[in-house]
Structure 1
Amino acid sequence: MIDHLRDLASVREATDRLLATVSSWDNAALAEPSRLPGWTRGHVLAHVARNADALVNVLHGLPMYQDGATRDADIERDAGRPLDVQLADLRATADRFQAAAEEPADWSRTVELRNGVTDSASRVPFRRWVEVALHHVDLGAGYELADLPEDFLLREIDFLADRWSGRSDVPPVTLRSADGRDLGTTGGTEGGPVTVEGSLGDLLGWLAGRGDKGAALVTKGGPLPELPPL
């Protein structure tokens, strides 16, 4: 069962962890490349801040973003700001999200996310946790997929496995943890079945297109499938 209040507490912890990392930088560190192609660390932080505002919109029944072009332009606009401005924006937007998520509401209601995707409002705090935590990893500042809590890793693996399910360009895949736990299946029905086994961090990295994208995973039945971009 989803506990949005517990997830909100995890969002705050993840945000504090991110802020502690970024607070130790200078402007030069902010301008360094992130692990996301074409984005500096400033782009990543600008995206994290704008995502908080976007999810406030979702919780208030508004469109998440005005449109894709505006979303991209806002990130580009904010990417080159100095460190003190980035930090102030991260703190302010995190507080706005927290306040909006603490308002009395029907958490079973359906909300609309980006590109027409719908979900339960109760999942929004976890989606924010994902944004903060994975983009912390994307900064390349010493916080890695393996540092993420197991509960987080299992839930996000399950989410991404569902996202890739039914895809004709992904063969049927069974996911298994390094300690032998069955983590479900993903992919479509075409092609030979493949079992993919490894640490939770490596599995998430492959499903999310991050880290070494599954280089450390062990496969049975065929090579590691190449996933399309998220």
Structure 2
Amino acid sequence: MTADPLVLTPELERATERLLATVDSLPLDEPSLCAGWTRGHVVTHLARNADAYVNLLTWARTGTRTPAYASREAREADIEAGAPRPASVQLADLAASATRLSTAIDAMPAEAWSTVVTMPSGTEVPAARLVWSRLCEVELHHVDLDAGYGPADWPEAFPPRLLHDPATPRAATLEAPDGTVLLTVPGAATVRGPVHALAAWLTGRGDGAELTGALPDLEAWK
């Protein structure tokens, strides 16, 4: 599955539009599916994450090292400070940060996409991976808002990309004739189910209820 930023940018724009539509008029002081976070925490995280990716794209474009966040502590403090803001303020912030990211993507010369930058996790990746990484942030955290958007609503191409992403727990996969996917986990029996359900389970956004087979302990397997 491609991770070409030029191919994925339109998909990111559509995913962002869906996210903004969900956040519009959504009560943000209610719990999200992220432990200890309200919806406001999730939305603020997504806004600051967009700005972090602008920093990384600036690094790739200019050659000047620009960390995603000033520090882990600053990242966490920004999320905590932003989470209680009025919903209308958070929506505007999320939209503005998405626009800044879109502008930064458009400004990237072709040769800059090969520049290696450091993700917040410390992993070094070519800048070309950033659009895919942001698309994952948007689609996964959209589910975390617990507002009616679930893994079954992901675009058709997204779950297979997740299954083939090196950052996703690895397993052998094979598409079955009926459209389900067979997934063989090292040391475990074969698991079978819809591709979106497998991707959701592997990323912690599903309990595996739609899957058949002996599910291993995901944390232990990772």
Whether these two folds match at TM > 0.5 is: yes
Counterpart of 2:201 (choices 206, 210, 215) is 206
Q: Is the 8 A contact 1:2 1:122 kept in 2?
A: yes
Quote how far apart the aligned CAs of 1:14 are: 1.0
Aligned to 2:107: 103
C-alpha distance in structure 2 between counterparts of 1:96 and 1:136, whole Å: 19
Distance change in 2, residues 1:177/1:75 (3 Å):
farther
Moved runs in structure 1, 4+ residues, more than 4 A? 180-187
Deviation at 1:97, TM superposition (A): 0.5
SS in 1 for 2:148: coil
2:185 matched to 1:224?
no
**Structure 1 residue identity aligned to 2:76:** D
* Alpha-carbon offset, residue 164 of structure 1: 2.7
Question: Residue 57 of structure 2 contacts residue 127 of structure 2 at CA under 8 Å; is this kept in 1?
Answer: yes
Match of 1:137 in 2: 143
CA–CA distance in structure 2, aligned partners of residues 74 and 186 of structure 1: 38
TM-score (norm 2): 0.86
In structure 2, C-alpha distance between the alignment counterparts of 1:32 and 1:183, rounded to whole Å = 37
Show structure 2 runs of 5+ residues with no match. 60-65
Supply the distance in 2 between the matched residues of 1:194 and 1:174 (Cα, whole angstroms): 11
Amino acid at match of 2:55: N
Is the CA contact (8 Å cut-off) linking 2:54 and 2:104 kept in structure 1?
A: yes
Q: Deviations over 1:174-219 (max 9, x none)?
A: 43456366677665xxxx342121111211111111132x132112
Instruction: Output the CA distance in 2 between the equivalents of 1:24 and 1:177.
Output: 39
Gapped regions of structure 1 (runs ≥ 5): 166-172
Q: CA deviation at 1:45?
A: 0.2
**Aligned ranges 1:13-162 → 2 under 5 Å:** 13-25=14-26, 29-61=27-59, 62-105=66-109, 106-159=112-165
Query: What TM-score, normalized by structure 1, do the two folds share?
Result: 0.83
Deviation at 1:157, TM superposition (A): 1.7
Q: CA deviation at 1:109?
A: 2.3
User: 1:85-144 deviations in whole A, cap 9, x for unaligned?
Assistant: 101100110011011111132212222112320222112111111111111111111111
Secondary structure at the aligned position of 1:155 is classed as helix
How many percent identity over aligned positions? Answer: 46
* Residues 104 and 183 of structure 1, relative CA distance in 2, 3 Å threshold: farther
Aligned mates of 1:119, 1:83 — CA distance in 2:
34
8 A contact 1:146–1:200 mirrored in 2: no
Aligned-residue RMSD, C-alpha: 2.2
- 1:17-75 alpha-carbon deviations (Å, 9 max, x no partner): 111111133xxx21111111111110110010010011111112211122222211111
The letter for the 2-side match of 1:196 is V
Mapped to 1, the partners of 2:182 and 2:54 lie a distance apart of 32
